[in-house]
């Protein structure tokens, strides 16, 4: 913020000096120059922030990104989508939009967006061509660290704010490129104005690069570390960094003007800057942080090797054989896990080394018919609605069918019912959320009016009455929130500031519903409720009172609880866990309910909570 203020002051002062040089020290002219220059900076920043309001996909497309189809048969693109989908399952977030920068031969990637619901991941064509699967996993894991740690929102805001101090320089360069050719008698004055704008813009460029470098460098180191934690090995991301340092194209962008704006978001340095302006640590230091014994001499040998024979990632996969630890068995749905509240809260947005392996297993065992439906535009809505239909009460299911018919038509209602009675009926609990995550990127491609109608339908289905199960209700809430956030990503609330003492009744309502849903005996439910309240409000006495509206009473709690500050949310996750597992054990199905509740509150959990199956 200090550097940004200095940049604005510097630009205004230099603009005023230029005015004084041409028209003399006229106070009115100097004041007008200062106001106009400041106005240009402010309006340009507001314009750029507004243009980025569509979220991560808008950034990727402005960079020339080409969407990767969900059902692509291209081997390289299929490999990329598989890696991204496995990462999403492992981290408990929706699958982001996936793009390829076809015109960029360098090895690079970035993630952009305001939240997990509108995130986009883009990789260059060079990354697809040069990296093997392990290395591509390492790069994507690095980008997922930015998604989970909130770096994306900061980076996209930074793009908008910095555009204001860069705009004068950009204007000057454009005028010199096109306006200098004019034969108009005012062309000379135009060129002089352009030169002054370029000089003034250089100040913005100087401070802009310093700001991006200061924000980016430490976060890149942390993202490298998270990638290692995520993929269980260093060879992937280290191999990608070695190839960046060893191949001729490196990580440089061909479109330097676009790369200037997003340089702080990239996996590798896209501009070749160093010193104060370097947005990334030196490549050799990044490699040595992962492989301490690696020396510059080894890098020189790799450079010589790849200069004569550039690496081919797909060929390396074929030569080495795809990494295969074997597909582990899915745990029984009734199996129990031994977990503790602190253990669960520590996993929020923090997948560990085993989570990627579990994601592999979940992705590999997901029924092929359902996975195919999740990737098709016409079947995605019936599939998601089928997940929300009630199994236990025929009258409730009849009302839900009527609500779908009234809003989306009889065909969608019929397909949803058939799916629920067919393949969805025996779906393993660990497959339900991943299936929704796979379907989400296809769903959000639908036109806005269709998405609005779908949200309305989901709301009607889960609010049929209070007999709808807590899982179905919470899954519906999760879908509603994700779709709304994808429609208006820029309006996603920032990090909250509320304290637990300000939302006592909301805590009590949520914990009472969770306790009653998991315990048939009223006394057990009361003890579970008290265990949760002891975690979050140990000095307050709020009596156990299950709400008369059942799960529908939770409509009033989500927004206040979602605005808690991060430490209060940590306590909230522990309290929900304590209520769900007050006896110290939780079934796989109950763990999925816990993951769904946490997802509604923007606290994503990995696919299986830590603990040993009993």
pLDDT score at 494:
63
The CA distance from 50 to 44, in Å, is: 10
User: What pLDDT is stored for residue 614 in this prediction?
Assistant: 39
Q: Where are the alpha helices (DSSP H) in 66-182?
A: 75-91, 125-130, 133-148, 151-178
Rounded Cα gap, residues 230 and 238, in angstroms: 14
**pLDDT tens-digit series, residues 554-596:** 999 999 999 999 999 999 999 999 998 886 667 788 888 889 9
More confidently predicted of 468 and 553: 553
pLDDT, tens digit, 9 for 90 and up, residues 429-477: 889 999 999 999 899 888 999 999 999 999 999 998 767 788 889 999 9
List the structure tokens of 399.
């009302």
- Sole residue written with tokens 């439910």: 525
> Looking at the predicted structure, is the pLDDT value of residue 185 above 80?
no
Q: What is the band of 80 on the pLDDT scale with cuts at 50, 70, 90?
A: very high
68-82, 276-290, 366-380: least confidently modelled range: 276-290
Which distant-in-sequence residues (6+ apart) come within 8 Å of 45 by Cβ? 160, 161, 162, 163, 164
Are 180 and 243 a contacting pair, CB within 8 Å? Answer: no
Q: Is the pLDDT of residue 352 over 80?
A: no
Q: Is the pLDDT of residue 418 over 50?
A: yes
* Average of per-residue pLDDT values in the chain: 86
Would you place residue 325 in the very low, low, confident or very high pLDDT band (cuts 50, 70, 90)? Answer: very low
What is the reported pLDDT for 326?
44
Closest listed residue to residue 426, CA positions, set 337, 356, 330, 512: 330
Lowest mean pLDDT, pick from 33-47, 225-239, 330-344: 330-344
- What Cα–Cα distance (Å) separates residue 350 from each residue in 230, 362, 591? 9, 18, 17
Average pLDDT over residues 149-164: 83
pLDDT of 324 over the 50 cut: no
How crowded is residue 216: how many other Cβ atoms within 10 Å of its Cβ? Answer: 24
Q: Which residue has the higher pLDDT, 109 or 21?
A: 109
Judged by average pLDDT, the poorest of 59-73, 208-222, 311-325, 385-399 is 311-325
How confident is the model at residue 560, as a pLDDT?
A: 93
Q: Is the pLDDT of residue 323 over 90?
A: no
pLDDT level of residue 411 (50, 70, 90 thresholds): very high
The mean-pLDDT minimum among 323-337, 384-398, 570-584 falls in: 323-337
Residue at token pair 């509108």: 118
Q: Residue 46: what pLDDT? A: 87
- Cα–Cα distance measured from residue 297 to residue 308, given in angstroms and rounded to the nearest whole number: 18
Is residue 143 part of the annotated active site? The answer reads yes
pLDDT band at residue 48 under the 50/70/90 scheme: confident
Q: Which helix (H) or strand (E) is 197 found in, with range?
A: helix 187-231
Angle of the 429-443 helix axis to the 588-600 helix axis, nearest 10: 30
CA-CA distance, 609 to 345, in Å (whole number)? Answer: 10
pLDDT of 292-319, one tens digit each? 999 999 989 998 889 888 898 888 887 7
pLDDT of 45:
86
Full 3-state SS string of 300-350:
HHHHHHHHHCCCCHHHHHHHHCCCCCCCCCCCCCCCEEECCHHHHHCCCCC
For residues 149 and 94, which has the higher predicted lDDT (pLDDT)?
94
Q: Report all structural domains of the chain as residue ranges with CATH numbers, in order of start.
A: 2-54+154-315 (no CATH), 57-151 (3.30.2010.10), 338-614 (no CATH)
Task: Return the pLDDT at 168.
Answer: 79
Is pLDDT at 533 greater than 90 in this prediction?
Answer: yes
Mean pLDDT across the stretch 230-251?
89
Name the more confident of 15 and 334. 15
Q: Residues 158, 159, 161, 163: is their CA dihedral positive or negative?
A: positive
* Whether 146 contacts 59, CB under 8 Å: no
What are the residues whose beta carbons fall under 8 Å from the beta carbon of 544, sequence distance 6 or more?
512, 515, 525, 526, 529, 530
Banded model confidence at residue 351, pLDDT cuts 50, 70, 90: confident
pLDDT bracket for residue 186 (50, 70, 90): low
Ordered DSSP codes for 470-528: HHHHHHHHHHHHHHHHHHSGGGS--S--B-GGGGHHHHHHHHHHHHHHH-SSHHHHHHH
> 272 in the Ramachandran plot: left (φ > 0), alpha (ψ -120 to 50) or beta?
left
Please say whether the dihedral angle defined by the alpha carbons of residues 195, 196, 197 and 201, taken in this order, is positive or negative.
positive
Segment 394-423 shows an average pLDDT of: 93
Are the C-beta atoms of 131 and 235 separated by less than 8 Å?
no
In the numeric block, the tokens 């990354």 are attached to 127
Task: Look at 556 and 169; give whichever has higher pLDDT.
Answer: 556
Question: In the structure encoding, which two tokens stand for residue 126, read together?
Answer: 């060079």
**Ramachandran bin of 232, using left for φ above 0, alpha for ψ from -120 to 50, beta for the remaining angles:** left
Q: Using alpha carbons, list the distances in angstroms from residue 414 to 367, 370, 389, 409, 459.
A: 21, 16, 12, 9, 18
**pLDDT at residue 529 in the model:** 95
> Angle between the 151-178 and 27-51 helix axes, to the nearest 10 degrees?
120
Contact 164, 41 (CB under 8 A): yes
Using an 8 Å Cβ cutoff, are 450 and 486 in contact? Answer: no
Beta bridge mates, 122: 99, 110
Mean pLDDT of 388-396: 85
Q: Of 169-178, 388-397, 482-491, 521-530, give the lowest mean pLDDT range.
A: 169-178
Q: Give the 3-state secondary structure percentages of the chain, helix then strand then coil, rounded to 5.
A: 65, 5, 30
Of the residues 85, 104, 143, 249, only one is catalytic, namely 143
- 251 — phi, psi (to 5°)? -115, 10
Whole-Å CA distances, 27 to 11, 14, 22, 39, 327:
18, 15, 13, 18, 76
Query: 611 pLDDT exceeds 60?
Result: no
């Amino acid at each position: 913020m200090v550097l940004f203020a200095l940049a604005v002051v510097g630009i205004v002062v230099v603009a005023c000096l230029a005015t004084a040089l041409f028209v003399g020290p006229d106070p009115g002219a100097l004041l007008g120059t200062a106001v106009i220059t400041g106005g240009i900076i402010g309006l340009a920043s507001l314009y750029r922030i507004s243009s980025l309001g569509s979220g991560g996909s808008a950034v990727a497309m402005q960079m020339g990104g080409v969407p990767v189809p969900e059902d692509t048969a291209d081997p390289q693109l299929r490999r990329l989508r598989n890696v991204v989908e496995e990462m999403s399952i492992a981290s408990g977030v929706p699958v982001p939009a996936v793009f390829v920068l076809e015109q960029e031969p360098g090895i690079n990637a970035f993630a952009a967006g305001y939240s997990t619901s509108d995130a986009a991941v883009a990789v260059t064509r060079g990354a697809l061509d040069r990296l093997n699967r392990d290395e591509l996993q390492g790069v994507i894991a690095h980008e997922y660290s930015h998604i989970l740690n909130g770096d994306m929102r900061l980076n996209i805001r930074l793009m908008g704010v910095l555009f204001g101090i860069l705009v004068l320089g950009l204007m000057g360069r454009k005028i010199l490129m096109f306006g200098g050719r004019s034969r108009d008698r005012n062309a000379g004055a135009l060129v002089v104005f352009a030169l002054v704008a370029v000089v003034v813009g250089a100040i913005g460029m100087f401070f802009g690069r310093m700001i991006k470098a200061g924000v980016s460098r430490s976060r890149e180191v942390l993202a490298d570390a998270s990638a290692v934690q995520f993929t269980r090995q260093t060879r992937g991301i280290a191999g990608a960094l070695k190839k960046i340092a060893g191949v001729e194209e490196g990580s440089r962008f061909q479109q330097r003007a676009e790369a200037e704006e997003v340089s702080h978001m990239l996996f590798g340095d896209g501009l070749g800057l160093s010193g104060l302006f370097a947005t990334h640590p030196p490549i050799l230091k990044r490699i040595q942080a992962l492989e301490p014994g690696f020396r510059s001499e080894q890098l020189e040998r790799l450079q010589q090797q790849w200069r004569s024979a550039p690496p081919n990632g797909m060929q390396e996969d074929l030569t080495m054989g795809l990494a295969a630890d074997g597909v582990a068995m899915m745990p029984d749905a009734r199996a129990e896990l031994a977990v503790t509240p602190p253990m669960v809260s520590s996993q929020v947005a923090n997948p560990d080394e085993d989570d990627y392996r579990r994601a592999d297993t979940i992705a590999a065992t997901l029924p092929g018919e359902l996975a195919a439906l999740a990737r098709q535009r016409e079947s995605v809505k019936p599939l998601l609605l089928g997940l929300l239909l009630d199994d236990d009460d025929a009258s409730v299911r009849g009302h839900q069918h009527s609500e779908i018919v009234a809003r989306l038509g009889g065909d969608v209602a019929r397909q949803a019912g058939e799916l629920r009675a067919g393949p969805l009926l025996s779906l393993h609990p660990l497959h339900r959320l991943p299936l929704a995550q796979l379907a989400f990127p296809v769903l959000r491609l639908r036109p806005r009016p269709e998405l609005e109608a779908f949200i309305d339908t989901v709301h009607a289905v889960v609010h049929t009455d209070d007999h709808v199960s807590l899982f179905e209700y919470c899954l519906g809430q999760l879908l509603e929130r994700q779709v709304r956030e994808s429609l208006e990503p820029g309006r996603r609330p920032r990090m909250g500031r509320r304290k637990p003492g300000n939302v006592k009744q909301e805590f009590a309502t949520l914990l009472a519903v969770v306790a009653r849903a998991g315990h048939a005996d009223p006394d057990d439910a009361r003890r579970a409720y008290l265990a949760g309240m002891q975690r979050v409000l140990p000095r307050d006495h709020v009596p156990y009172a299950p709400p008369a509206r059942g799960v529908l009473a939770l409509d009033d709690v989500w927004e206040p609880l979602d605005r808690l500050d991060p430490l209060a949310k940590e306590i909230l996750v522990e309290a929900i866990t304590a209520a769900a597992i007050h006896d110290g054990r939780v079934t796989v199905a109950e763990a999925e309910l816990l993951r769904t509740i946490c997802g509604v509150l923007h606290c994503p959990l990995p696919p299986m909570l830590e603990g040993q199956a009993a």
